[in-house]
Amino acid sequence: MSATRPWLNIYPSGVPANINPDEYSSVTDFMTKKCQTYGKKIAFSQMGKELSYKEIDKYSTQFAAYLQSRGLEAGDKIALMMPNLLQYPIALFGALKAGMIVVNTNPLYTPREMKHQFNDSEVKAIVIAENFAANLEKILAETSVKVIITTTIGEMLGIKGSMVDFAVKNVKRMVPSYEIANTTTFKDALKAGKSFDLQAVESGPDDVVIHQYTGGTTGVSKGAMLTNRNLIANLMQIRAFLDHTMDNSKENIVLCPLPLYHIFAFTCNCLAMMDAGAMSVLVVNPRDLKTVIKEFERYKITGMTGVNTLYNALANEEGFKSVDLSSFDFASAGGTALQQAVAEKWTGVTNSEIGEGYGMTEASPVITSSPKGLAKLGYVGIPVPSTDIRIVNEQGEPLEIGQTGEIQVKGPQVMKGYYQRPEATAETITAEGWLNTGDIGILNEEGYLKIVDRKKDMILVSGFNVFPNEIEDVIAMNDKVLEVAAIGVPCDKSGEKVKVFIVKKDKSLSEQEVIDHCRENLTGYKVPKEIEFKKELPKSTVGKILRRELRDA
């Protein structure tokens, strides 16, 4: 086995080579058992308001009974469209208990994007934060959505909630007016659900429970069909490494700044942390660093998930440097490349390492991770249990260790396929079950994976491959740089040339300084030919810098 999986030789003791993805029959089975096991322990908190595992179980059963009372049936689709609120896990597990398929929806979607996703997935019901209801109103008539449950930021926060909602609505004016008939509030749905008995629904390992839409960076956004088995497998794969990383002798309180509708937080925070009996501290808006820091002051945070831009922002934030991190054990990064300069700065400020991982929506998402003490700068860790990785050439033939090519993945976490897109599924998953990731990488002798770049982001300068990650890493080494993104732009001489966009940390940073620094660290054809300074860079809701938007502009 270790001949084809060299990483098994460096697995920490106690980490299994394989997990059993059939330990639970479904996500509902898993969740019900965890709520029984952990009972009165706190499962989730939002702005200091806490809900126990027992309460999540009770409320989600009421919510499920309400959905059934509205005529919704097993297999119907329900969109969840909200930031990190206590309502999210209740609605998620309630929908699954009712046998429905959850369609995680980014609240910042435009009406056009909402309409595409709801129609593509055939959504019949939605739970939506009222901040975004005005956009729903614009496209509602063109969809098959019939059951609409609205909620507010403060709806589950008790007395404090009315003050929060007053501020959101009247002070910050973050709720555009809307008129939609026959909506129900989240609390009313829970109340109504008490009057009905939940009709049990059978859900098996191969049943699809989530439609997770890929970002749409390649044309139209597609719904990855994730099954019970996919998600159970992945949460157990994550947990196998977490058991080595987390200190299970104490109460684990894990910060969740990334949105739960995003696959990274969905599986790593919502599912894997429930498996560990941890408390997840939900952050509504991670861009507001003061609220992130407030949670570190409120709780003795033991770990967190995040992306490069968040770790960068926190490490550079004065208020974060005085936070008590005596209980802090681990930080996990994914979603986009972790820059070496950011990793080093974080360690300097917190005295802890960031374990980088790699994943894809199509793999539920985790493929590789870095157990504590095994993080290697520049690498995204080693494959999680029950996972095979290989590097292939353009013809799909496996390459030797140390050679660069496309990363292929195989394991129980790989999706069933794209919803109603057999051609796209066949292009992405080979007949032998290998997932084509579209990422370029290298495996070293020990089994560590290095991501070179996205196939589609690669810049071709006079026939030479230039990877934006490398340029960005070099420029980020300069202390005067806060954020950077590199793209290819058309060039008459070389086909493409490198252009970089920089947000300054120090106003004195000049174009010449950047070029001189690049010339010292990069081959000539990789040195940027154009530099544009900007106040901010376009980002996704999880903080991933959107090179595509920079290219389109």
Q: Give the CA count within 13 Å in the CB-facing half-sphere of 153.
A: 21
Q: What is the model's pLDDT at position 324?
A: 95
Domain boundary among 454, 475, 508: 454
What is the structure's pLDDT at 219?
Answer: 53
Residue 467 lies in a domain: yes
pTM equals 0.88
Q: Which of 420, 545, 414 is nearest to 476 (CA)?
A: 545
What integer is the mean pLDDT of 361-378? 93
Closest CA to 252 of 41, 27, 31, 34: 41
Percent of the chain with pLDDT over 90: 84
For helices 340-350 and 308-315, the axis angle rounded to 10 degrees is: 40
**DSSP H or E segment with residue 552:** helix 547-552
CA distance linking residue 368 with residue 381, whole number of Å: 5
pLDDT at 216 over 50: no
In a domain, 213, yes or no: no
Q: Is the pLDDT of residue 60 over 70?
A: yes
Q: Give a yes or no: residue 546 inside a domain.
A: yes
Work out the pLDDT band at 465, boundaries 50, 70, 90: confident
pLDDT of 309? 87
Tell me which of 428, 454, 480 is where a domain ends: 454
Residues 506 and 490 in one domain: yes
* Rounded Cα–Cα distance for residues 28 and 334 (Å): 26
* Secondary structure in 3-state letters for 464-494: EEECHHHHHHHHHCCCCEEEEEEEEEEECCC
Instruction: Please compute the mean of the pLDDT values over residues 209-230 and round it to a whole number.
Output: 83
Are 353 and 444 in the same domain? yes
319 lies in the same domain as 428? yes
What φ, ψ does residue 416 adopt, rounded to 5°?
-70, -35
Q: Is the pLDDT of residue 523 over 50?
A: yes
pLDDT band at residue 132 using 50, 70 and 90 as cut-offs: very high
- Summarize pLDDT for 327-356 with one digit per residue, the tens: 999 999 987 778 899 999 999 999 999 999
Do 142 and 235 sit in the same domain of this protein?
no
Is the same domain home to 372 and 293? Answer: yes
450 plus 473 within the same structural domain:
no
What range does the domain containing 60 cover? 27-203
According to the model, what pLDDT value does residue 221 have? Answer: 83
| Local structure of residue 536 (DSSP, 8 states) | -
Beta strands in 240-311 (DSSP E): 253-256, 279-282, 303-306
385 and 479 inside one domain: no
Within 10 angstroms of residue 451's Cβ, the number of other Cβ atoms is 22
Q: Which parts of 219-360 are beta strand (E)?
A: 223-227, 253-256, 279-282, 303-306, 330-333, 354-356, 358-359
How many domains in the chain?
3
Phi, psi of 131 (to 5 degrees): -55, -25
272-315 confidence digits (pLDDT tens): 999 999 999 999 999 899 999 999 999 999 999 998 889 999 99
Cα-based distances in Å from 165 to 96, 155, 157, 286, 488 = 28, 8, 10, 18, 44
Lowest-confidence pick of 27-36, 184-193, 329-338, 533-542 = 329-338
Judge if 17 and 69 occupy the same domain: no
| Final residue before a domain boundary, out of 454, 473, 495 | 454
At 491 the pLDDT is 86
Q: Is the peptide bond before 16 cis (omega within 30 degrees of 0)?
A: no
Coil vs helix vs strand at 51? strand
Task: Give the E-state strand segments of 93-189 in sequence order.
Answer: 101-104, 123-129, 147-151, 183-185
pLDDT at residue 455 is higher than 80: no
Residues 108 and 234 in one domain: no
pLDDT at 462: 76
Q: Please, which pLDDT band fits residue 1 given cuts at 50, 70 and 90?
A: very low
Whether residue 134 lies inside any domain: the answer is: yes
Average pLDDT value over all residues in the chain: 94
pLDDT greater at residue 3 or residue 237: 237
Q: What is the pLDDT of residues 393-415, one digit of tens each?
A: 989 999 999 999 999 999 999 99
The CATH number covering residue 315 comes to 3.40.50.12780
- In a domain? residue 340: yes
pLDDT grade, residue 3 (50/70/90)?
low
Q: How far apart are CA 94 and CA 117, in angstroms?
A: 21
- Average pLDDT score over residue span 263-275: 96
List the CATH number of the domain containing 44. 3.40.50.980
165 and 48 in one domain?
yes
Torsions phi, psi of 79, nearest 5?
Answer: -90, 135
Number of Cβ within a 10 Å radius of residue 483: 23
Q: For residue 537, what is the domain's CATH number?
A: 3.30.300.30
Is residue 210 situated within a structural domain?
no
Q: Is residue 522, in this structure, part of any structural domain at all?
A: yes
- What's the CA gap between 230 and 239, in Å, rounded? 14
Closest alpha carbon to 168 in 302, 6, 288: 288
Q: Indicate the pairing of strand 382-383 with strand 366-369.
A: antiparallel
Cα four-point dihedral sign 414, 420, 422, 428:
negative
Is the pLDDT reported for residue 159 higher than 90? yes
